Amino acid sequence: MGKLSISIISASLILGCGQGHNSRDHGASRTNRTTVQEPDSTDKTVELTALPETLKISTLPGSMTVKITNNTNDTITTGLHFCIERFEADRWKVVSPKDIEFPDLGWRIVPDGSETFTKKLYKDRIHYTAGRYRVVKHYLKSDYMQTRKSFEIFAEFDIRE
């Protein structure tokens, strides 16, 4: 079981946040402030929420809280890895520094469970301007060893003058 957990956690870190990509073309639509992945066959989802949803440049904190909620019937695994993207020119662009390392730790989140993480904003390394941003995280379902599928979820937030 230990090797399985290490493989799953390592896979989530390797898959990373658009590694090798400078931007993403994930449309601009949003129906609420929490973005979710495609529903599974039972129409249940995993949600990622960023708190607070709106920040001011003049009082930009050093970190923010993100909460991942598992509304599926499956136990999921996620790690500490995340990245920050900014929406500009109708595209999502990775703005997180490329040289950030994350401990190789994993969290198993049971059905109807949640976990809260504090995420650094790296404000000393990212030039924030007013606009739309999002935190991007990955998670794996319990069948990862068979499917090799990683799922990406997003939590949007705004930065204002």
Summarised one tens digit per residue, pLDDT across range 101-160 is 887 788 999 999 999 999 999 999 999 999 999 999 999 999 999 999 999 999 999 999
Whats the size of the chain, residue-wise? 161
- Number of domains, the chain: 1
Higher pLDDT, 26 or 45: 45
pTM above 0.85, yes or no: no
Token pair recorded at residue 161: 């003058």
Strand-pair category, 150-160 with 54-56: parallel
Q: What pLDDT is stored for residue 63 in this prediction?
A: 96
Helix (H) or strand (E) holding 130: none
Question: What residues make up the domain containing 59?
Answer: 2-160
Q: What pLDDT is stored for residue 120 in this prediction?
A: 93
CATH of residue 94's domain is: 2.60.40.10
pLDDT tens profile 57-98: 999 999 999 999 999 999 999 999 999 999 999 999 999 998
Token pair recorded at residue 54: 């709106």
Q: What pLDDT is stored for residue 160 in this prediction?
A: 97
